[in-house]
Amino acid sequence: MKLYKWLFAILTLSQFVFTVAWYLFTKNLDRVIIVSSIIYLGAMIISYFSYEVEDYRKVKQQLLDNLPH
């Protein structure tokens, strides 16, 4: 689960650095920033769903392990 927190932090930081660097380089908001933001949002959504599935599987396994034999 800690892996997903690192993934969220690294994706956010890299998007922020890229956007600021590109904006300072071109001095305007253009398609590159918009497309990279869309890709970032897609990656965050997919990562969030993966996190939820992993959490569900973990809880399910704990519940199964606690059943009486």
R_g of the chain computed on alpha carbons: 18
What are the boundaries of each domain within the chain?
2-65
User: Within a 13 Å sphere around the CA of 25, how many CA atoms are in the beta-carbon half?
Assistant: 9
Give CA–CA dist 38/61, Å, rounded: 35
Q: So what's the pLDDT on residue 37?
A: 95
Angle between helices 31-65 and 2-26 (to 10 degrees): 180
Instruction: Say what the pLDDT of residue 33 is.
Output: 94
pLDDT (tens digit, 0 to 9) for every residue of the chain, 69 residues total? Answer: 788 889 999 999 999 999 999 999 999 989 999 999 999 999 999 999 999 999 999 999 999 999 987
Report which of 5, 1, 6 is spatially closest to residue 55, judged by C-alpha positions. 1
Give the pLDDT score at 2. Answer: 80
